[in-house]
Amino acid sequence: MQRLREAEDYTILMSRQSDHFLGFIYARLKMILQVQQGDITQKEFIVSPHISSVEEENSFQTLFCSLCLYWMNAESPKKPLPNLLEPLYRRAIASDHHWLAMETPELLSRLKPSSNYKQQAEVLREDSNIQTIVDLMEPQEAWKVCLNALVNLHKEAQTTGKAESELRLAWFITGATRFYEVGQNVCDH
């Protein structure tokens, strides 16, 4: 959970830089991290917006927005994403953008398991020796996101209650010690 918070802090910092060319991507990643930490209200902002094609925006934005949608729910993007990612893959291959050319078929292989994208991704990964980011987060179905939110809510309530009870215990011990000291002083005199 601590690493998710650190990553969220970084994405907040980067998404606030309005002139940064990856600002939109950082804003999306921030939402993903918030959902992972239990803020399910952010999920709607990830799954409902339009994802720009490679012709409309830069390749990074198309890939990362597609990844965010995939991470939020592996089932829902199976129809629209291949239509966005296949042209991106062809363009990445033609332009010798090795990393994009590797990540795109990695994601496509998850969306179209019966295709040959898995083999293409393996060949590209062997050539570049780069680990994929597609598996950084496990895609979650809606019920699992809600369950995680409830679990995180329960953990926060437990840690809050625990701190108060420990504090109260400290007050009790301090008060009992003072009462004992006062009682000893009275008895000694």
pLDDT, residue 172, reads 41
Measured in whole angstroms, the distance separating CA 59 from the mean position of its chain's CA atoms is 20
Which residue has better confidence, 16 or 174? 16
Q: Which two tokens stand for residue 106?
A: 């990695």
- Name the one residue in this structure whose structure tokens are 């802090």: 9
Q: Which of 27-31, 43-47, 85-89 shows the lowest per-residue confidence on average (mean pLDDT)?
A: 43-47
Distance, CA of 132 to CA of 125 (rounded, Å): 8
pTM recorded for the entire structure = 0.71
Is the pLDDT at 131 greater than 70? The verdict is: yes
Cα dist. 60→32, 53, 55, 63, 80 in Å?
16, 10, 12, 5, 17
Contacts of 138 (CB under 8 A, 6+ apart): 71
Range name among 24-38, 39-53, 79-93, 159-173 with the lowest pLDDT average: 159-173
- Local confidence band at 175 (pLDDT 50, 70, 90 cut-offs): very low
Indicate if the pLDDT at residue 14 is higher than 90: no
pLDDT of 171 reads 41
The confidence score (pLDDT) of residue 101 equals: 92
The CA distance from 165 to 173, in Å, is: 12
One-letter amino acid for residue 4 of the chain: L
Residues 49-60 as b or e (16 or more Cβ within 10 Å = b): eebeebeeeebb
pLDDT above 60 for 173: no
